[in-house]
Structure 1
């Protein structure tokens, strides 16, 4: 199910995780169905895998622009783990045109930093030939906490406290940067130590869906 947008409808692009190497299916179609139950059109964006930056970002930015060109009102992104990194990058990366940038972003247990406790698999794919460079300039330029600006779009971020694949400090780094820049956001941390829980049914983290649904109702009606 990809979702279909019409004139002035709102849409959310779903970016599943998988370390930039695969697309995790449980972070794809179930998320589209959940968003549909909240009244949002949604479609899965199968961004390029095993491909260095900037190819994944360009793919998502084009998808955002295509939705706007098709008459969408608000265009948001939701991503998980590495998909959360890509969703955040699409919202924060400098140099994008206004029609390429989403109006809001939802990040679940996201990879945030490529320099501070990085997820090595995601870093290896994104940096490609630069992965072993002694200069971390490229890695810093892809670390979400370094890209936040006062005009960044609103964000909803959540994580589990004992995640041992992508440590919760990633979300704390991003939350601190968003707070410092006075960007509207929510950050929720739940008990648990399992990474990749998606809708998190039957866990303490399942509360994220209700909190996020409420957050979505409070977003501005018109695009930024």
Structure 2
């Protein structure tokens, strides 16, 4: 475990001036005594839990190199991670790797995917085209193809087709949010397979995502979009454009020491979700950088937080009086702190 204690924050409303202040003074932090922190209080319990988690992780089975559709003329592959017998929740999580849209592959995902799979989810690590092959929206088309494929093959996967979610990391988080905001929009569906199946999502999980490429004049925009793309094209490619009350329940994670994609990206998105009254959470961790979940304790902690979020918003939706559905502010968002 790194020296930094896992923490979460009460979240301020986003202000564009925060881009110049990566550690806003109005963030208040509490020691996180949820999934990871509570176990630290009682070391015997923690040791038992760790042994149980290790056992479950070792029981995860992986089927590699399954073709799920077409991206242009190329086959698109996925790795299917199946949960241990007896833990099945009959829900699929489609995982999308990071890499700045220019790199990354499904081979990067096992350490991120396994902990949440061990909790009972079918995980699908899905390939998507990079910008060296095709520009946006090609990679979003591929994500939609993966969603439709999972829903079309629900019986073989052992899932409920209404229980499919996306989980994205960095650039993959951008694509996860974009997919969640553009469900069944023809211009973003592509022609990769299963055209008669919808791309509905039950939930969205985004780790340290970029959320608005229009803010990146010399960054993601010139990587993701064709040369000469104007401001309208930037807006059309930004997940922030598509936040509405129809957006599925969403949980975000961000390290407060992320120098690659500042946490304000997630703050901004949470504010939009709140305004649309979408069930949503943002968990921030003090002193940790981009891709903090490569550390096994953070991977396990975020897996359990994700599991709890999905259980109360998708698997067993419930009301917590006086808080409302899912334990949030009415049907609105919850900021854990």
Q: From the CA coordinates, give the structure whose radius of gyration is larger.
A: 2
Partner Cα separation in structure 2 for residue 104 and residue 184 of structure 1: 10
Superposed displacement of residue 25, structure 1: 6.2
| Corresponding position of 1:11 | 92
Instruction: Output the TM-score relative to the length of structure 2.
Output: 0.59
| Corresponding position of 1:142 | 237
| Corresponding position of 2:279 | 184
Q: 1:207 to 1:215 in 2, by over 3 A?
A: same
Q: 1:78 to 1:113 in 2, by over 3 A?
A: same
* 1:126 equivalent in alignment to 2:209: no
Question: Which stretch of structure 1 is more off in the superposition, 165-174 or 192-201?
Answer: 192-201
Superposed displacement of residue 9, structure 1: 3.1
Partner Cα separation in structure 2 for residue 213 and residue 199 of structure 1: 18
1:26 touches 1:198 (CA, 8 Å); kept in 2? Answer: no
1:75 to 164, 170, 176: 164
Aligned residues: 216
2:213 alignment partner, SS class: coil
Q: 1:158 to 1:210 in 2, by over 3 A?
A: same
2:116 touches 2:303 (CA, 8 Å); kept in 1? Answer: no
Superposed displacement of residue 11, structure 1: 0.8
2:98 alignment partner, SS class: coil
1:84 touches 1:111 (CA, 8 Å); kept in 2? Answer: yes
1:182 alignment partner, SS class: coil
* 1:46 equivalent in alignment to 2:140: no
1:16 touches 1:28 (CA, 8 Å); kept in 2? Answer: yes
Question: Which consecutive unaligned segments of at least 5 residues does structure 2 have?
Answer: 1-61, 63-78, 83-88, 190-196, 318-337
2:106 touches 2:125 (CA, 8 Å); kept in 1? Answer: no
1:23 touches 1:46 (CA, 8 Å); kept in 2? Answer: no
Partner Cα separation in structure 1 for residue 255 and residue 218 of structure 2: 16
| Corresponding position of 1:112 | 211
Partner Cα separation in structure 2 for residue 119 and residue 218 of structure 1: 40
Instruction: Output the TM-score relative to the length of structure 1.
Output: 0.86
Q: Relative to total residues, which structure has the larger strand share, 1 or 2?
A: 2
Q: 1:118 to 1:44 in 2, by over 3 A?
A: farther
